[in-house]
Chains A and B, each alone.
Chain A
């Protein structure tokens, strides 16, 4: 059980290293290797074209079910009817796609966390420093411990018209509900897909230990970001007090709110914000920070990468 995710991680990693897939972001990378030492493919390398995705879909044992992944006692199923939105280049993404993708990111983070623990134990045993590790393993050690929330979290917390309903999500961060050994507020990174007005996707990233809250929106100049960050800041402090988690920043004025972080790619079409949101979550969960290396031009390949990952049931590393 312990070995499975780790070996899977290595396999996908080596696979993505071997095949410079046509949709690989390496081609679109605009920043130096130093800034982004580990270009992510946002794809597992198991299907590298829409034809391959369609072929895999055709081979499914149960045509109505594209994927099923479990975490703790919760099992999430991705249905064909939802996956179908991804196959149509201009369709909007729904909560099923966003949440399934974030579940895959969570599973990848869980696997990396286990790997980090083993790496640190091995280093300690050898009396070695992390700097003595090969580059690829050093990058793994920088991956933050993260937790991905459901897109319904923010909808429940802030159901519109300026309302703030802490009680609606009070139980969502109990360790029984997050399937974690401790409260996720003690983690480094919390990811929140934000659905605005049932028309738009953005992402909020909360770094409880750093006291930083960021709002990533592919459409700049929107006012909602401030409201999202204010709601999440209020929630963070209230929930930390409720769950007994000691945060370095305990007062609202100590928290830093980044409304529009530099280097957020801008959406130029009328349908890709869900893809932007997924790509931002993937990079933050992998330990990258803004500026991000992708742009509107990469959306078709990012979309294909998402589809390939969902079919494979794992996000490539």
Chain B
């Protein structure tokens, strides 16, 4: 039982973080890695701040792990930017 737990924790999966223009960044993570590390690595690599990460439409919390969200190898995370709205498009 203990051995299985250890194996489970050491298992790596590849996650794809995809932004709104379709650019992808792959991360190889352990199932028990907290997403805070992935978020930081993504933000550093892309040079963007305040990205919101979604999995199947739900926000991923910094304290979540891939195991918490039942993620599997090859799953895609959506990296979204803030949306604002107040008025009409200026170009129209």
Interface residue ranges, A against B (CB under 8 Å)? 74-76, 91-96, 98, 149-153, 155-156, 159, 168-169, 171-172, 174, 176-177, 195-201, 219, 222, 267, 269-274, 277
B47 interface residue per 8 A CB criterion: no
Shortest beta-carbon distance from B9 to chain A in Å: 21
**B residues in contact (CB < 8 Å) with A:** 20-21, 52, 54, 56-59, 61, 78, 80, 82-90, 92
A198 to B82, CA, bound (A): 8
Chain B residues closer than 8 Å to A75, beta-carbon distance: 61
Collect the chain B residues with CB atoms within 8 Å of residue A271's CB.
86-87
> What residue in chain B is nearest A277 (Cβ atoms)?
B85
Once the chains bind, are A149 and B83 in contact (CB under 8 Å)? no
Q: Collect the chain B residues with CB atoms within 8 Å of residue A98's CB.
A: 83
Partner of B83, one of A94, A176, A222, A267: A94
Residue pairs across A and B with Cβ atoms less than 8 A apart, 8 shown, are A92-B87, A152-B52, A172-B57, A177-B57, A200-B87, A201-B86, A222-B88, A270-B87
* Contact of A199 with B89 in the complex, beta carbons under 8 Å: yes
Of all chain A residues, which has the CB nearest B18? A168
Selected contact of B88 from candidates A93, A174, A199, CB within 8 Å = A199
- Contact residues of B: prevailing secondary structure: loop
Nearest CB in chain A to that of B58: its residue: A74
Question: Are B52 and A95 in touch, CB under 8 angstroms?
Answer: yes
Q: A150-B57, A152-B57, A174-B56 are in contact. Are A198 and B84 (CB under 8 A)?
A: yes
Kindly state the separation between the CA atoms of A177 and B89 in the bound complex, as whole angstroms.
Answer: 33
Task: Report yes or no: A92 in contact with B85, Cβ–Cβ below 8 A.
Answer: yes
Which residues of B are found within 8 Å of A171, using beta-carbon distances? Answer: 56-57
User: Which residues of A have CB within 8 Å of B84?
Assistant: 92-95, 195, 198-199
Q: Which residues of A contact B88 (CB under 8 A)?
A: 199-200, 219, 222
A94 touches B82 (CB 8 A): yes
> Closest 8 CB pairs between A and B?
A92-B86, A201-B85, A172-B57, A95-B83, A271-B86, A270-B87, A177-B56, A195-B83
In the complex, which residues of chain B have a beta carbon less than 8 angstroms from the beta carbon of A277?
A: 85
Given contacts A91-B86, A155-B83, 7 further A-B contacts (CB under 8 A): A76-B59, A95-B80, A95-B84, A172-B56, A177-B56, A269-B87, A272-B86
